[in-house]
Chains A and B, each alone.
Chain A
């Protein structure tokens, strides 16, 4: 039986093969799914905010795109993953409520996606697939067997990337 590990909001986890990492109900948050096809080590972070530099209190690295991705890579390396082989998939970053003002709340999803991509680019991790944006929530499951990311929604179908 496969080991299914749940990742909460502002949380991250890694897993050696065979295993599944899942996070439920991603809204504006972004799920950063990392996979090393050579060792089948996987990692998943559920990030809430783009960057730790703007936050007043940043004790939890899993909360921010920049610090979460670094931490995730470190944890995967502890399980034997090869950083140079790791690829990334992104999901989430929706805008749940159609705010029409220009507050920060408005584009937080988009900013989370952009910050994740920027950090991954800095670290030379290619983003091989993504399912981001829109106005709906997503539940995602990352499978160590093939690195597929399964995305479930309400009213917008199920897909795999």
Chain B
């Protein structure tokens, strides 16, 4: 049987949500420790979208955001992406390495490194939680960063889905420190075959 993401039933969706919950939960804990701040996250959403809907999911295709993307390989393949609004990234950086200049628009090299390192730690926590839950081993690549329009950044994982179907499946989790300063989104974007592997390991598909 060819696995199709638009034929998932509500139980499959619930299982994928739980994966988002466990993965992002662990990552948020790591972020909270790093920043020494209380960070909350919402219930993960499993988004199955038509491509034309993708660019707007963060509130507008043209909103400037920072995307940190890591490729995932091993028992599951795909990518994991963190998206921060520019101001949230600034806040995170200033909590981590002290306040830098707020005058210039551009991030310094040190600030970029700090954001990448946050991405590294978040991805590691997300994937290790996934391993504990499923026993599936994965490794992440070095973090890649892009600062640009939300639509352009979200299109990168969407293109991967384009090779095998007409819909895209994101497990998305929003987190925030409560006063909307540190706010961002996690996206776990797996290849279609990996979703099948994941659901098989968890016993929800044969």
Which residues of A pack against B, CB within 8 Å? 8-11, 24-29, 48-49, 54-57, 59-60, 63, 94, 96-99, 101, 103, 105, 108, 135-139, 152, 154-155
Contacts and interface: CB of A to CB of B under 8 A. Distances in A.
A128 B115 CA distance: 41
A49 B159 contact: yes
Interface stretch (B24-32, B92-100, B144-152): B144-152
Contacts of A63: 51, 162, 166
A8 B162 contact: no
Given A10-B52, A49-B163, A56-B163, A138 B155 contact: no
A97 B62 contact: no
B51 A25 contact: no
B152 A26 contact: yes
Contacts of A8: 50-55
B166 A27 contact: no
A148 B145 CA distance: 32
Interface in B107-165: 141, 144-156, 158-160, 162-165
B48 interface: no
A46 B171 CA distance: 25
Contacts of B155: 9, 25-29, 48, 96
Interface string B36-58: 00000000000000111111000
A138 B155 CA distance: 12
* Interface of A, helix, strand, loop or mixed by DSSP: loop
Nearest to B159: A48
Contact of A139 (B105, B149, B165): B149
Contacts, number: 116
B55 A60 contact: no
The 5 residue pairs across chains A and B that have the minimum distance between CB atoms: A25-B151, A8-B52, A137-B152, A27-B152, A24-B61
Interface string B12-36: 0000000000000000000000000
A134 to B, nearest CB: 10
A117 B152 CA distance: 21
Contact of B51 (A48, A98, A139): A48
Nearest to A108: B159
A57 B62 contact: no
Given A60-B166, A97-B69, A9 B146 contact: no
Contacts of A136: 148, 152
Contacts of B166: 10, 57, 59-60, 63
Nearest to B54: A9
Contacts of A154: 62, 64, 147-149
B62 A139 contact: yes
Contact of B151 (A10, A56, A99, A137): A137
Nearest to B155: A27
Contacts of B64: 154
22 contacts: A8-B50, A8-B55, A9-B52, A10-B166, A24-B62, A25-B152, A26-B151, A27-B152, A27-B155, A28-B159, A55-B164, A56-B164, A60-B51, A94-B152, A96-B67, A96-B153, A97-B67, A97-B145, A99-B144, A103-B71, A105-B159, A137-B152
Nearest to B161: A48
Contacts of A49: 159, 162-163
A54 B159 CA distance: 13
Contacts of A98: 144
